[in-house]
Amino acid sequence: MTLMPASHGPVSPLGASGSGQTPLASIQVLRALAALGVTAAHSVEQFAKRLGLPGVLPDLSLGMAGVDLFFVISGFIMVYASEPLFAQPRAPLIFALRRLARIVPLYWAISSVVLVYVLLHYHDLAAANISPAWLASSFAFLPWPGVDGTMLPLVAVGWTLNYEMFFYATFSLALLTSRRKAVVLLTLIYFAIVLAGRPLQPLPLMLTFWSDPIILEFVFGIVIASAFREGWRLPAWASHGLLLAALAAFAVSGFWQRGIVPRPLEWGVPAAMAVAALVLGPVRHCTGFTSRLLGRLGDASYALYLVHPLVLISPRWLFARLIDPSYAPGVYAAGLVVASAGVALIVHALFEKPMTRRLQRWLQRHVAQREGLANNKPLGAGAGVTVEPHG
């Protein structure tokens, strides 16, 4: 497989050769598929845990590879969208504020809903086996063991955001140098963390969590983004072949027991192959209905990821009256996924999107006034990017 440069001139922030075409449409579709995969996998778990119907649906645990796809995409987008920030003195502040404005509101809102439910059900934290330190860590995106020893926050799917925030913290500091140096620096640091993490065991649980090899999936994404920014592209045949190879690798992973192959190799590498195939290959115009629908859902993928655990357990009383899950498990599960997607689109449109815009505009004015900037540009303006991933 060979890579070829897209052009001999400088790479436009918007895409190859200043065409204005970007790889983000394909990325949005991937984000939608990743979120749907995780939702489908969790819907199957509901049949076993809450409906007492294990084995009535096919094993969809492969859908959890959506997390790995998210991590690769996050690495890609952070480099891609931060092009104007590299080597700028206030870049870490701008980047950190934008990330907090994007990630915190919805996560805190969902966490608050879960906390209110717990307090209404158990009346106090002690009865629910919740420690104040664990609760505070859940809201602060810090990995902290619960009473059962697991490193899951109040919103269980938020464990991935603990990795995302770790990545954002290191990435923000790397922004002080050039893009090329930042990519090399982050790659070396992450490999060093993983390699040092195992021989130094036992480490504090927080350090053990952050030294998990899964953090290398962020590196996959930043390397792909660096290649894109350098102007490298795949010919159509290579892009198609790489995408087929990624799909085949995901399919093959379903035939062996989980844990035999390290997760970054089992799911991270195929995820990186898929991202590279789509962003380095020929620009795909996603104009069909399905592509547009997935693109919209990709916009709401962060909302879908966070709200689906609540939605999956909420409509049992309604769905059970309309559809008996024991007789039509596939239809019932599909209904759960569709309901999750619908709620996510509503939450994204009515809460997530407007809240993010308000916070980022406020931060824009605040930073401009504080630093006495005459040019009141949006934080990170110039990237030509409106897509905000969760990770």
Tell me the two tokens of residue 19: 């065409």
For 338-350, the three-class secondary structure string (H helix, E strand, C coil) is HHHHHHHHHHHHH
pLDDT at residue 389, rounded to an integer: 39
pLDDT per residue over 227-239, tens digit each? 999 999 999 999 9
Residue keyed to tokens 């294990």: 54
Alpha helices in the chain (DSSP H): 24-49, 65-81, 91-122, 132-140, 159-174, 179-197, 205-210, 216-229, 236-253, 263, 269-280, 289-299, 301-313, 316-322, 329-347, 353-370
With a cut of 70, say whether residue 129 has pLDDT above it.
yes
Q: Where residue 284 falls among pLDDT bands split at 50, 70, 90?
A: low
73 by Cβ neighbours in 10 Å (0-12 / 13-18 / 19+) ranks as: buried
pLDDT per residue over 152-174, tens digit each? 999 999 999 999 999 999 999 99
Q: Would you give the distance in Å from CA 140 to the centre of its chain?
A: 18
Q: Where residue 321 falls among pLDDT bands split at 50, 70, 90?
A: low
Average pLDDT over residues 23-32: 88
Judged by average pLDDT, the poorest of 28-37, 47-56, 63-72, 345-354 is 47-56
Q: CB within 8 A of 201, min separation 6: which ones?
A: 208
Percent of the chain with pLDDT over 90: 64
Q: Where residue 2 falls among pLDDT bands split at 50, 70, 90?
A: very low
With a cut of 60, say whether residue 387 has pLDDT above it.
no
The C-alpha atoms of residue 271 and residue 62 are separated, in whole angstroms, by 12
Give the DSSP H/E element, type plus range, for residue 232. strand 232-233
Judged by average pLDDT, the poorest of 292-301, 325-334, 376-385 is 376-385
CB neighbourhood size of 23 (10 A):
23
Separation in Å, CA 293 to CA 201, 300, 333: 46, 11, 20
Average pLDDT over residues 320-334: 79
The C-alpha atoms of residue 141 and residue 158 are separated, in whole angstroms, by 8
Angle at 284 between CA 347 and CA 38, to 5 degrees: 40
Helix (H, G, I), strand (E, B) or coil at 4: strand
Peptide linkage before 202 cis (omega within 30 of 0): yes
pLDDT at residue 107, rounded to an integer: 98
- The DSSP output letter for 5 is E
Tell me the two tokens of residue 90: 């206030």
pTM: 0.88
Separation in Å, CA 296 to CA 33, 299, 349: 11, 5, 10
Average pLDDT over residues 123-128: 88
Average pLDDT over residues 278-306: 88
* Mean model confidence pLDDT for the chain: 85
With a cut of 70, say whether residue 23 has pLDDT above it.
no
More confident residue, 362 or 388: 362
- The DSSP output letter for 324 is -
With a cut of 50, say whether residue 17 has pLDDT above it.
no
Angle at 113 between CA 108 and CA 116, to 5 degrees: 120
- The DSSP output letter for 10 is P
Separation in Å, CA 51 to CA 212, 312, 317: 33, 11, 11
Rg (CA), the chain: 21
Helix (H, G, I), strand (E, B) or coil at 15: strand
Q: Which of 251, 265, 184, 156 is nearest to 217 (CA)?
A: 265
Residue keyed to tokens 């629908």: 293
With a cut of 50, say whether residue 62 has pLDDT above it.
yes
pLDDT at residue 380, rounded to an integer: 44
- The DSSP output letter for 268 is I
